[in-house]
Amino acid sequence: MTAKDRISRKIITCTIVCLIVAAINTHGQTAAARTKRPSEHEWWENAVIYEIYPRSFQDTNGDGVGDLNGITKRLDYLKELGVDAIWLTPCYPSPQVDFGYDISDYESIDRHYGTMADFDRLVAEAGKRHIRVIMDMVMNDTSDQHAWFLQARSSRSNPYRDWYVWHDGKGETSIDKAAPPNNWQSEFGHSAWQWDEKTRQYYCHKFYIQQPDLNWDNPAVHRAFKEIMDFWLKRGVAGFRFDAIASLFEDPGLADEGVVKDRNGNPLIDAYGEQVLDGSKTFLVAKMHPVMQEMRAEADTFNTDAFPGYRVLIAEIYTSNITDLARMYGPPGKPEFQLPMDTQVGFIDKLDVAAFRAKLTDAEIGLGSNVPLVLFDNHDNPRLDMRYGNGVRDTDIQRVVATVLFASRGAALFYYGDEIGMKTTSPARREYVKDPIGITGWPKEKGRDGERTPMQWDGSAHAGFTTGTPWLPVPPSAASINVKAEEGDPDSLLTWYKALIRLKKTNRALEDGTDTMLDTENTKVLSWMRQAAGAPAVVVSVNFTAQPQTVNLANDALGAGTHKLKTLLKTPGAADSLSLDQIQLGPFGVYVGEVQ
């Protein structure tokens, strides 16, 4: 899904003074009640998950497109980075209209990426390094070249017809197809209905025309996807990330969607020149929950000695509040996702201390015993430099972002190249665009090519990605921003990521301690404390401004008195902070210290 799929997010104000007081008074008792060390079964509770866009990670056969053997080749790099699992965007056979999200066969590997034997080798080699493989699961739609749809469009009486969403047009006659059934729009521009001349009906497509929507009111579709999940779980995958899961169901009455208006009452217009609709009839999230309870129950059948280590289900979901996010875990006795994505934190898209504090507090107190999954980036959004950077101190700002990601409670997900500071590099001209979104929406919408450029391994002509011509050009920034250049630099962003991930895995408080916000009136510095029973507390302070800041956390953290600090991590070149009452931070500076 694209960035435009995100609905506006409302900052939820929370009273956190009581939480701080409770943390001060109990000094670990609350942490003891709320936390436990992750076991092999619950490996995902403090997991570091790395998203790989296979087309762009590593090419081994010189065709300019990344492949599975390329991922296998780089597993040692991922192990050294500290990754627990890799999420692969779709590598199933596909016409590649949506670069893999238009799937024509769910039980094979696309020829661009290799063979099933290559996939099995990847899973085996990753397992040797204690890295799990998570597949993308696309259940909203298939390719129009999938065998199911080819059958469905062959005739109205075909058994597969009801696997998809078909409907007559408005005012249709024997010679006139008339208008689409309603005003629903594709997320990629224009009507969500496509006329099929042979069978003289419209089919629904929430995304591209070549991605017809499946009919989830048909039990046969449920059975098919449970069989697909079984196929991959038997091959050793650790779980699935479910794409666009909120769009499975549409209004059966086919009512028009409402038009979103600005404060003056005028309709909002999108990049495609069309009115923005409210999604109220095409995102029926409530109907999705029973489906995911069913899918979770199927995945849980593999949690046996024959398939050690629990399988994890991850949701791509954009919610407007913490209550809706909490529902994604499922009600008592009917679990759904272990890790729905908490996009409320990472997609604030500006360094706003109050907003981050509110959303992190939401994740701490609004999810009960459930584990947050924090992320800032993915293959559908501009990279961190464009959304958070200022063009001058981007590396320092990315240290700030990484610290929030890895030093907060829960699992962490990040996108390939974030660890070296890869930059968004959008096409300069329309003829260079590969992403159909950009082709359709240019120049207001330039597409997603800019965040999908090849991984930058070294400073060579094609950044070590391929010996051929890369499918997308390597940015000029690769000359200095690359793995080889940063591996030996103690002050590099890559070194920072490795250090943070190592702390997340080895420091008891950072591994599974509670989060308590500190210095909560400060609008320039975000500070919090991690506490776990039987371990020293850890404080984290990140400066969201370009000016030096000094903070006093002594009273907030552990009550009055002098508390010494042991530095665990700090911005390169910064001075050590020796006590809680005077933590000094440079511009966009970071300090992580253990309370002695």
Cα four-point dihedral sign 342, 344, 348, 349? positive
Residue 250 contacts residue 320 (beta carbons within 8 Å): no
Domain assignments of the chain as residue spans, ordered by start: 43-139+219-250+283-493, 143-215
Please, is 252 exposed, middle or buried when counting C-beta atoms within 10 Å of its C-beta (0-12, 13-18, 19+)? exposed
Sole residue written with tokens 């069309």: 274
Q: What angle do CA 259, 265, 268 make, to 5 degrees?
A: 45
Please state, in angstroms and rounded to a whole number, the distance separating the CA atoms of residues 21 and 17.
Answer: 6
Find all residues with CB under 8 Å of 292, minimum gap 6, and list them.
242, 245, 313, 315, 330, 336, 337
The SS3 of residue 514 is strand
> Which architecture characterizes domain 143-215 according to CATH?
Alpha-Beta Complex (3.90)
Q: Using CA atoms in the order 591, 26, 410, 237, what is the torsion angle rounded to 10 degrees?
A: 140
Residue 320 contacts residue 9 (beta carbons within 8 Å): yes
pLDDT for the residue 178: 80
Q: Is 243 a catalytic residue?
A: yes
Residue 591 contacts residue 496 (beta carbons within 8 Å): no
Annotated active-site residue in 63, 120, 125, 294: 294
Average pLDDT over residues 362-389: 96
pLDDT(560) > 90? no
pLDDT for the residue 6: 34
Structure confidence by residue, pLDDT tens digits, 489-512: 999 999 999 999 999 999 999 999
Structure confidence by residue, pLDDT tens digits, 184-233: 999 988 999 999 999 999 999 999 999 999 999 999 999 999 999 999 99
pLDDT for the residue 559: 62
DSSP 161: G
DSSP 10: P
Please state, in angstroms and rounded to a whole number, the distance separating the CA atoms of residues 251 and 283.
Answer: 8
pLDDT(15) > 60? no
Average pLDDT over residues 471-491: 97
pLDDT for the residue 31: 37
Sole residue written with tokens 């965040």: 451
- The two tokens of residue 478 are 């690769």
Please state, in angstroms and rounded to a whole number, the distance separating the CA atoms of residues 450 and 517.
Answer: 35
Average pLDDT over residues 300-322: 86
List the end-to-end C-alpha distance of the chain, in Å, as a whole number: 46
Please state, in angstroms and rounded to a whole number, the distance separating the CA atoms of residues 47 and 574.
Answer: 29
Superfamily of domain 43-139+219-250+283-493: Glycosidases (3.20.20.80)
β-pairing verdict for 525-531 and 538-543: antiparallel
What percent of the chain clears pLDDT 70, i.e. is strictly above it? 91
pLDDT for the residue 173: 67
**Closest by Cα among 195, 210, 191 to 277:** 191
**Least confidently predicted of 9-18, 38-47, 66-75, 453-462:** 9-18
Burial code of 81-91, b = ≥16 C-beta within 10 A, e = fewer?
Answer: bbbbbbbbbbb
Structure confidence by residue, pLDDT tens digits, 123-177: 999 999 999 999 999 999 999 999 999 999 999 999 999 999 999 998 776 667 7
Rg of the chain over Cα atoms, rounded to whole angstroms, equals: 24
pLDDT for the residue 485: 98
Residue 249 contacts residue 271 (beta carbons within 8 Å): no
What percent of the chain clears pLDDT 90, i.e. is strictly above it? 86
For the chain, the residue count is 596
Q: Indicate the pLDDT class of residue 271, thresholds 50, 70 and 90.
A: confident
- The two tokens of residue 175 are 């010679």
> Which strand (E) or helix (H) includes residue 241?
strand 239-243
Annotated active-site residue in 243, 336, 364, 418: 243
pLDDT(18) > 70? no
pLDDT(2) > 60? no
Average pLDDT over residues 528-546: 97
Average pLDDT over residues 262-273: 92
pLDDT for the residue 557: 62
- The two tokens of residue 556 are 């907030």
**Closest by Cα among 68, 184, 176 to 118:** 68
Q: Using CA atoms in the order 422, 407, 244, 210, what is the torsion angle rounded to 10 degrees?
A: 10
pLDDT for the residue 430: 94
Q: Is 197 a catalytic residue?
A: no
What does the H/E/C string look like for 547-590? CCEEECCHHHHHCCCCCEEEEEEECCCCCCCCECCCEEECCCCE
Residue 228 contacts residue 107 (beta carbons within 8 Å): yes
Q: Phi and psi dihedrals of 201, rounded to 5?
A: -145, 165
pLDDT for the residue 7: 32
How much is the mean pLDDT over the chain? Answer: 91
Please state, in angstroms and rounded to a whole number, the distance separating the CA atoms of residues 203 and 263.
Answer: 35
